[in-house]
Chain A
Amino acid sequence: MNRAPGVVILVLLTGLGVGATYFVQHISAPRIAAEQRLIDSRNLLDLLPPDSYDNQPLEQPLGLAGIVLPSSTLLGGYRVTKSGQPSAVLLRSQTLGYEGSIELLIAIGANGRLLGVKTLRQSETPGLGGRIADWPNAWLQVFAGKSRAEPGDAGWALKKDQGTFDQIAGATITSRAVIHAIHDALSYFDEHSQQLIGSSAHE
């Protein structure tokens, strides 16, 4: 029969193709995963000063998940250590902005002071609220060095809400959401500093 050898060759070719692809994928998967982790850490960890840590924070999750705070939810956290001593905590916080949910990465030092805030995901108005996604970000930089006590709990709000922070021009709701999410994260850190970094937050 004329068609049989053709079909056999086709089936053989398919089998060979699937096998070869599986084999290549199996061999290269660990390498690709390691490279992906490296890219992720470079993207996310540039909000920490480079000489303040020597571990892989993204591979040391704190096991927090779905913790509901007054205006945000904590999706996860990572511990940052230097020479075995915890030096900071990274908290992933999700809050509701103007157009959708905003996901922030909030870095808090061991002394309870903010090291930096970075936007991981947002769908705010481009050019207005969407400016929280710029990096480096002049508006988010204002929060660096602040803590829960400075300004106090009442100071963590927009100036038009009797607080101390300016909003991004034209993006009041987005700014308010971000400020409350940061305040929630700082409060959570203060209340749980024992379990997050194993010591009291205030030096």
Chain B
Amino acid sequence: MPIEVLMPALSPTMTEGKLAKWLKQEGDEVSSGDILAEIETDKATMEVEAVDEGVLGKIMVPEGTDAVPVNQVIAVLLEDGEDASAISEAPKPAEAKQPDPQAKEAPKEESGSAHAAPPKEPSPEAEPEWTGPTVKLTVREALRDAMAEEMRANERVFLMGEEVAEYQGAYKVSQGLLDEFGARRVVDTPITEHGFAGLGVGAAMYGLRPIVEFMTFNFAMQAIDQIINSAAKTHYMSGGQISSPMVFRGPNGAAARVAAQHSQCYASWYAHVPGLKVVSPYSAADAKGLLKSAIRDDNPVIFLEHEILYGQSFDVPDSPDWTVPIGKARIARPGKDVTITAFSIMVGKALEAAEKLAEEGIDAEVIDLRSLRPLDSETIIASVQKTNRLVTCEEGWGYAGIGSEVASVVMEQAFDWLDAPVKRVCGVDVPMPYAANLEALALPQADTIVAGAKEVCYRG
């Protein structure tokens, strides 16, 4: 069979080039490695080598031709005993071995809308109801207990980060861990976020279960290459050979009076990335239950805490076996008139707003998302189908935020149930001001949520 010689790509981005010169003519014998032609692009000149032996049967593209598309047949080689009649008259671009995104056909249009009915969403494992004893803990203590319990249960779990050992954590979350587990498993690192995140990724890939503490997630920007390009992708890119079971945790969002570079929410940054799981708890019970699940998870988990919540107390199930599944939202307050979604510190503000709304006769349902990737769209949709109205809350910027994602999911899956456009309540679209008065204005408060809820209820 004649062998088609294709216009080669000099780089993955090259789409066309100039066929500058033929160094072999029709009828010439060629052997593997012979140079057939020269190709020019704006960046380089290269030689097209023969891979196979044969006779140059026909030149399909004359020299001097500009803008020859990659993978177009430029010549045909004849093998022993073939003559030029074996060449088909109308050569077509041959299938290249390299995947070509342009060549793929668009998915076929299906009859009717793909979203006429909410698609089947297998329900994540339901959270078992806790009926046992509880204990009052701060979020800080709950996080410490989660780590301690998991470190007792699995010797491959270890904690590392800046100030986690001797200093007991920059926010005292790792109190007592050095005493119990020693410097081998509670590791103080130099000030090298990129370095120790990468080190954690390597240790996870190699059979340990690291908990990497960032003093705050603002500093994790140094390490985001390791988190996204390695932790989130290596399982995928190694064909399932290498995984990164690990937790990146630390305070996220706006504390108070620490200005633009230290007051930002990274929820939507990480939730954007396939390969990561992202959780952001509000209560101490969820902080403990979700951190335990995150440590046991076989995937990299981003665990977003909040500095202002560290000192707040909640009832926490008193059992080392109790966990909260990742991917499941919690109805923090049932209601029938409007759905309010929130996560982290905004759950408290949403609950406060719900009390104020109740005084005005609006019965709000507050959903604590808890898990941002995967998102529990089932719980959100079911709630919207009941209330027909939705307000999303987040402390971070609204642009391409978590609220945008929630709104999209509801628009795609429950459009017909909405009686009003979705309202996003979020941080003002500016870097966090340092001035106290401006800072308060830039952050969404309970009253902002109240106003949003009244807006979607058409109550002025």
Q: Do A and B bind each other?
A: no
Residues of B whose CB lies within 8 Å of any CB of A are none
